[in-house]
Structure formats: structure tokens, C-alpha cells
Amino acid sequence: MATLNSNIPSGPLDQKWEHHKFSTKLINPANKRKYKIIVVGAGLAGASASATLAELGYEVHNFVFHDSPRRAHSVAAQGGINAAKNYQNDGDSVHRLFYDTIKGGDFRAREANVHRLAEVSVNIIDQCAAQGVPFAREYGGLLDNRSFGGAQVSRTFYARGQTGQQLLLGAYSALNKMIGAGGVKSYTHSEMLDLVVVDGHAKGIIVRNLQTGEITRHNGDAVVLATGGYGNVYNLSTYARGANVTASWRAYKRGACFGNPCYTQIHPTCIPVSGDYQSKLTLMSESLRNDGRVWVPKRKEDCGKKPADIAEGDRDYYLERMYSAFGNLAPRDIASRAAKTVCDEGRGIGETGLGVYLDFSAAIARLGEDKVRERYGNLFSMYHEITNESAYQTPMRIYPAVHYTMGGLWVDYNLMSNVPGLFVLGEANFSDHGANRLGASALMQGLSDGYFVLPATISGYLATQNPGKRPATDNGSFKQAEENVQTLTKRMLGNKGKRTPDSFHKELGKLMWEYCGMARNQAGLEKGIKAIGALREEYWKNVSVLGEATDWNQSLERADRIGDFIELGELMCRDALMREESCGGHFREEYQYTPDDPETKQGLVNPGDVKRRDDQFAYVAGWEYAGAADKAPILNKEPLVYEEVKMSTRSYK
């Protein structure tokens, strides 16, 4: 059994981080340069961590599978980044951002981590502004804000509909500065395929050069994974096509526990699926819900009509009706489930019946088309390119899609996994969003982890390691790990199967969406586990990978990643089956509020809302690999202890 010690510092919640930074051991400047740190990934978390660690004087080696560190999918985040600046004077504070985030996560995140995130949020905005990130501004030259889901204040900073791009380019510029200065060595087209563990500590990685196929060993005093989320397990998602779980999964197979894998975010406003050929789904930013109103026809019979032909009185603005206090800005999990509910009732729109309207006519009437264009122009044109429809003239059609994973590798307060020396940042870790992430919080977490948290905590671990004494790459563990990668590659290329890797990915995606999607139940999950297990077995018998190992080979890249997704899918179903409660994005049909529950009668929740079971499930599930893919993984638990807030019924009414 692994030990999951959260290492949360003692003391009052709002002083923990300050005290912890003081009590964490430091490394003197002369010794810092003797430590080599491997960082995998260059999204917001990886780029900001690499740059900052190098500024501190550590020797940093950064690895990305992309052709450039600027391509990570952080680049695609549209809407914004939260920070408790209270520039709007509307009642915001660190405590309010903390509370909104804890509540938004349905009381399944760690208090201390979330409070730290809220504290650090203000420094992030300062940092990014100083880097020259062109945030939206008011006429006086000061920063502008907008609102996002799950909050009643305007605390979201933004750069048109391309906030993620601008923040990533900011972090990329900081990284470039340090590459130019020689503090960071950058490896591009380099994919991590194994973690090297020496005497129980993470001390290196095995990497495949995607251009040449060469497999190389890299040692370090610590390894940092900032490799993103795993939503592509569903095949169709808003993730980039290349986003994958392989780095995290290989670390899991080396002993790192996987935290809450079933916590998946399904984003309410994406462009609906149009056909079987589809490779990805496109998000329409949550910021649109500031001005757009979500509705479906009240009557099934009206679903085939043009939206303009449906009278105002025949429309059901269901979010405004069900969650009057937050309305169209209800949190993502709630808005997504509500869309599913109305579609299940037969009131969905569009060819497939799996869609709802997001309507801007009221905003255009109120603000004028020009103002709406200024705020959302790029999103409207993106919508037009994909659907060939103008959202200025007719409502957008939207439907929920997989967007983010709150689960990830388990880490303690220092962002270190249960394997000493292995740190995990950003979406790749499980830590700050509980069972549901609020909008504009992912950018905040990625940059918080990379700029401010890891650089302060990593010295605590390094101080326990002798400077300049990391194991050399001829150590037996490096040899074994490299052989492991070579064997796997040979096995895939030598397989005389009949099916392409992508055909397995599609099949896996359908199983996951069916059994481990927006609504889950015991029978379905049991079926899912069986079916995915069978798919795993077939994969290794029947996958066909063309091309060579010593060449640019995209089939081989995909085959590696899809094999890992299949195993992960099984673990997600197991986690969802084990968690016999509903919370945030994890909706178990067996556990929902009924009209007879006291909370429903008091008007706190609607029938059908998620029902937690704090007495039995107030813990983080940390799954431990049991040594083989067909062996049931071991469940470890980290209890969630709330000192400051009370775990209460999450009400947005």
C-alpha cells in the first residue's frame, strides 16, 4: 500500500502558505546550479516552472513532444483567468475566491491547496502584466474584468477570446529568455515514454525523439510532469488531438498513485457532434454565457421549427428557471447536466436532438451588434467557420463535451507525488478543483503551480538530496527502463494485426461516453469495465502499426498513446464504480436529490441534483498500480479534513 500523506502545514488556513514557505529548507545559490531538474511539458505550468526554476539558478531541461514549446493546449483556453484583485470593488476577496472554488468543486478539493491558489492568484496577474500580456483594458488604461460561472463577482481577466494563448505566449517568452540565457536546455519533438525510479526516487526519464526515433536516457535530481489532462480518453473532446496521458500513465506504472480519475469536466457550451468522421469538438467559451441565454422549446413538437418561429412564451430558459440566483452562469457540471436532462426529455434541437440554443438576440438588442462583436467576435467567426451559421442572426446550437479532467496524479501540498522526487503540476495533477472546476480557474492553477508553488516547495525535497550526486544514466534502472520502451516499440511494430490504432480509439471513446460520461450507474460501469478489458486484450492482438522505429512515425506515436488510454479508461470506470455518491462532474444516477428530500423542500436544490455522501466518501481516491494491466488496482484513501468551511449542500438557486 502507498502512503498518501497530504503534508498540509498546521496553523490557521490563511497563514499556512506563508509559514510553509518560511519553514521549507532553502538551497544556497552556489548549490542550486548543481541540481538538474527535468520538466516535461511546456504549457502554462511547464513553461512557467521551467523559466522560474532556471531564474532561481537550477539547471533545467525541458521536454515537449511538440515542434515548439509554444504549442501546448493551454494555448486554446479562451475566456479568462480568475484573480482575487477586487479591481471592480464588487465584494471580491481571497476568501471569496477560495470559497467559490471549494464550493464549485463540490467540497472534494483540499482546503489548504485551494486557499493557496486564491492567495497566489493576485501575483499571477501582476506577473503576466509585467511580461507584456495584452490584457483587455478600460479606457483609463486599467485592467478590465468579466464574469464566469459559479461566481457572483467579476474577477476574470481576459485577452479577447484568446486568454490562454496570450498567457502561454507570456510563459513561453519567459522560457525563451531563460533558454537564451542558457538556464534551460529545450528538447522539442521529444516524448517521455518512461519514468526512471532509482532506490524509490524519481531520477530520470526515457525519451523518444519523434524525428529520428532515437531513444535516450536523461537523469535529474527531480522530475516534474506538467503534461496536461487525459480527456482524449473519450476520443471526442475539446482537447488538442495530440493531448495524451502517456507521461502520467507511465509514472503511474512506476508507482505514482492516480487521484480521482473519474472526475471529468463536461463543458456545457460546445458545438454539437455532426458525424462519425469527427476528430474533435470545439468549445464556445463560457464567457458567452455572460450575454447569451440558454433555452430549448417548452414543447417537443416545436423542436423541428426554426428558432425564430418559436414564440418567446414557448421557450424554456431552463437555467434561469432552475437556478435563478446564478441563471446562465451556473457552474459547468450543473449547466451540462441540465442540457442533458432537457434533451433526454425530447426537447433537444438540431438534427440529432442533442443540442440546445445559446441565444444572443437579447444582448444584441441591449448592447448593439458592434459591442457584441467586440466582446466575442472571434468566437462568432469560429462558430461560423464550423457550422456555416451566423450567431448574430440565429442562436448558436451547443451541447456539452468533454473538456477537462480534475483527476490526475496524486500530489501532496508540495505538489510531490507519493514517489519522492516526482512533482506534478497543472491539469496533470488532481489537486485543486475537487469534483468540478470553475471556469477561468485552469489557467490560474497552471500558472500558480509553475510560477509560485513549485519553485518554493521543490527546495524542500532537493535539500534532502546531495548536490551533484544524481545517479548516472548507466545505472541499472535507466537500462531497465530503456529496454522497457524498446520492447514495447518492437512489440507494436511487429504486431501483425488488422486494425488501425485510431479505430480502437473511436471504440474506446464510445464506451467511455456511454458508460462513464455525464451520467453513470453501477450496471453500466460494470459493463464498461468488462468491455474495455476485452478491448485492451484485442488491442495487443490486433493493432496494426505501419512504418519504422527509426523514422518520423505518427502511427507509432498514436499507438503508444491509445494503448495507455485504454488502460486508463478501465481505471476511470473502476473509480466511478467505487464512488457510490454523486459530486460535481461525477453523477451517479443512484445518488440524486428527490422531491421528498428536505434540501429539495427547503428550496436549496432541484430534484435530480447531485447528492454527496460525506459520511462515506469525503476522501481522495489514490489508485495504485498492482503490477499488471489485468490486475485490479489498489485503492488508497486520503481523508479530506475541512477546518475552515463546512461541507454543505451546494446550492446555486
The minimum distance between CB 276 and another protein, in angstroms, equals 9
Using CB under 8 A, which of 134, 200, 346, 468 touches another protein? 134
538 contributes a contact to another protein by CB under 8 A: no
- What amino acid occupies position 440? A
HSE-CB for 67 with a 13 A CA cutoff: 2
Among 5, 274, 487, 522, binds another protein (CB under 8 A): 274
Question: Within 13 Å of residue 99, how many CA atoms lie on the same side as its CB?
Answer: 13
* Part in contact with another protein (CB under 8 A); list of ranges 140-148, 254-262, 321-329, 332-340: 140-148
Residue with cell 488531438: 241
Closer CB to another protein, residue 142 or residue 365? Answer: 142
Binders of another protein in range 187-226 (CB under 8 A):
188, 211
CA 136/CA 145 separation, integer angstroms: 8
Are residues 8 and 110 in contact, defined by beta-carbon separation less than 8 angstroms? Answer: yes
Burial (CB count <10 Å: 0-12, 13-18, 19+), residue 139: exposed
Using DSSP, state whether 215 is helix, strand or coil.
strand
Number of residues engaging another protein in binding (CB under 8 A) = 80
CB closer to another protein out of 67 and 514: 67
CB-facing half-sphere around the CA of 125: CA atoms within 13 A:
26
Nearer to another protein, 154 or 649 (CB): 154
Closest contact distance (angstroms) between CB of 554 and another protein is 6
173 in contact with another protein (CB under 8 A): yes
State which residue, 244 or 260, has the beta carbon closest to another protein. 244
Decide whether 50 or 606 has the Cβ nearer to another protein. 50
Q: Of 13-21, 175-183, 214-222, 630-638, which part binds another protein (CB under 8 A)? A: 175-183
Closest distance between another protein and the C-beta of residue 355, in Å? Answer: 15
Closest separation between CB of residue 48 and another protein, Å?
A: 8
**Catalytic residue check, 332:** yes
Residue placing its CB nearer to another protein in the complex, 201 or 375:
375
* H-only helix segments in 436-521: 442-447, 454-462, 476-494, 501-516
Partnered with residue 119 across adjacent β-strands are: none
Distance in Å, CB of 493 to another protein, minimum = 12
| Per CB under 8 A, 91 contacts another protein | no
Report DSSP state, residue 235. S
Among 82, 86, 113, 186, binds another protein (CB under 8 A): 186
> Which residues, numbered 16-55, are part of the site for another protein (CB under 8 A)?
48, 51-52, 55
List all residues 6 or more positions away from 231 whose beta carbon is below 8 Å from its beta carbon.
Answer: 237, 238, 239, 243, 264, 265, 402, 403, 404, 405
Q: Measured between alpha carbons, how far is 281 from 402 in angstroms, rounded to an integer?
A: 8
According to CB under 8 A, which one of 160, 217, 347, 433 is a site residue for another protein? Answer: 160
Per CB under 8 A, contacts with another protein among 546-565 are: 546-547, 551-552, 554-555
Which of 1, 30, 130, 628 is in the footprint of another protein by CB under 8 A?
130
Write out the three cell numbers for 323: 437556478
Q: Is 31 helix (H, G, I), strand (E, B) or coil?
A: helix
Q: Give whichever of 166 and 441 is closer to another protein, judged by the CB atom.
A: 166
Stretch that binds another protein, among 160-168, 326-334, 362-370, 618-626 (CB under 8 A): 160-168
Residues 283-342 interacting with another protein (rule: CB under 8 A):
283
Joined grid coordinates for residue 235: 476520443
CB neighbourhood size of 7 (10 A):
14
For another protein, give the closer residue by CB, 129 or 519: 129
Q: Which residue has the cell 514517489?
A: 419
Q: Which of 50, 121, 156, 166 touches another protein (CB under 8 A)?
A: 166
Q: Which residue has the cell 482575487?
A: 84
Residues 459-518 touching another protein, rule: CB under 8 A, are 500, 502-503
Cβ proximity to another protein, 241 vs 366, nearer residue: 241
Distance CA 50, CA 1 (A): 32
Residue 372 CA to residue 380 CA, distance in Å, equals: 9
DSSP lists the bridge partners of residue 636 as: 622
Separation of CA 150 from chain center = 17
Q: Which of 33, 34, 95, 177 binds another protein (CB under 8 A)?
A: 177
Backbone phi, then psi, for 419, in 5-degree steps? -90, 110
Find the part of the chain contacting another protein (CB under 8 A) among 5-13, 172-180, 244-252, 324-332.
172-180
For another protein, give the closer residue by CB, 244 or 431.
Answer: 244
Minimal distance in Å, beta carbon 208 to another protein? 15
Binder to another protein among 26, 240, 549, 647 (CB under 8 A)?
240
Stretch that binds another protein, among 133-141, 312-320, 534-542, 575-583 (CB under 8 A): 133-141
Q: 569, 255 in Cβ contact below 8 A?
A: no
Q: Which of 18, 138, 345, 537 binds another protein (CB under 8 A)?
A: 138
Closest CA to 44 of 65, 66, 69: 69
Comparing CB distances to another protein, the nearer of 127 and 287 is 127
Q: Report the C-alpha dihedral over residues 425, 525, 346, 510, rounded to 10 degrees.
A: 70
Minimal distance, residue 490 CB to another protein, in Å:
18
Least Å distance, CB 179 to another protein, is: 5
Question: Which residues from 364-423 bind another protein, rule CB under 8 A?
Answer: 381-382, 385-386, 388
Q: Which of 332, 347, 520, 612 is catalytic?
A: 332
Which residue in 16, 20, 32, 73 binds another protein (CB under 8 A)? 73
Instruction: Please pick, from the candidates 2, 8, 26, 76, the single residue that binds another protein as defined by CB under 8 A.
Output: 76
Burial of 231 (0-12, 13-18, 19+ CB in 10 A): buried
Please state the φ and ψ torsions of residue 237, each to the nearest 5 degrees: -160, 180
Q: Which residue has the cell 500530489?
A: 411
- In sequence order, what are the beta bridge partners of 315? 297
Task: Name the residue nearer to another protein (CB basis): 160 or 293.
Answer: 160
Query: Binders of another protein among 441-460, rule CB under 8 A?
Result: 451-452, 455
Closest CA to 492 of 563, 547, 545: 545
Taking the complex as a whole, the smallest distance from the CB of residue 652 to another protein amounts, in Å, to 29
- Residues 6 or more apart in contact with residue 89 via CB below 8 angstroms: none
Residue bearing cell 498514436: 558
Residues designated catalytic? 332
